[in-house]
Structure 1
Amino acid sequence: MVFAATAKGFHCTGFEINSILTGYARVKSNWKGIPSSTASFVNQDFWKTDLSKYNNVTVFLAPGVMEVLGRKLEKELPDEARVIACRFPFPDWTPTATEGEGLDQTWAYDMNVIRKLSTQAAMK
């Protein structure tokens, strides 16, 4: 996903807990000529990382962790952030947009909308 996003002009950071996969991604990035200022790969646990400096987050995680991840993202991401979920949606969030279908479906969520809907739900 990092390589696809950098091809579209995004500056990306990929988090991977497996050091072998992190090393592979760095070698592949270097081989493709992608500068580390455009794509970086961090051998770090995503769950222990403060994500507050990121405005775009793309996730491809198992359905069983999406609810917990949603709480983490609501707590840490700025209002202008957008979250893209691949294959598995956030169970308690309303998407701003969706594309594809079946195994190729993705959902886009804007944090300002998610927070507004959460506030409205809490007031009921």
Structure 2
Amino acid sequence: MRTTALRKSPSVALALLLTATSVAACSSGSTGSYCDALTAAEADWKDAGATLKDPASAARFVATITTVEASAPEEVRTDWASLRVLAAKFTVAKPDLTELTKHMEGFESSAKRIETHAKETCGIDLGS
């Protein structure tokens, strides 16, 4: 049933997106602080799916995303904001599945841009 899939889908999608398995050296210059923020956030992303099941953990995860977003280059800053808004929906005991579904529908392209940019700019693979 669609409702069951929706309950699982956001956590699974974020877990897949945010599992950082390979961290290489970041480039220097204007993207250095962004790459540093991604590297520092790696530990928080390993258990993203589980994190989003607990509102307090989800709130800490949102704070991590906010840090990355603040240093993100313009070409992906809006995408990080989209991720932050999505993760923030998990900071309540019972997330609104209708709102989550609406946000997930528009998030796929943002997730792909974040994943590609992190790999190309910082050598960080968020997708595997």
TM-score range, shorter chain: under 0.3
**TM-score w.r.t. length of structure 1:** 0.28
Task: Decide which structure has greater strand share.
Answer: 1
Which of structures 1 and 2 has the bigger CA Rg?
A: 1
Higher relative CO (Cα under 8 Å, sequence separation at least 6) belongs to 2
Comparing both structures, which one devotes a greater share of its residues to helix?
Answer: 2
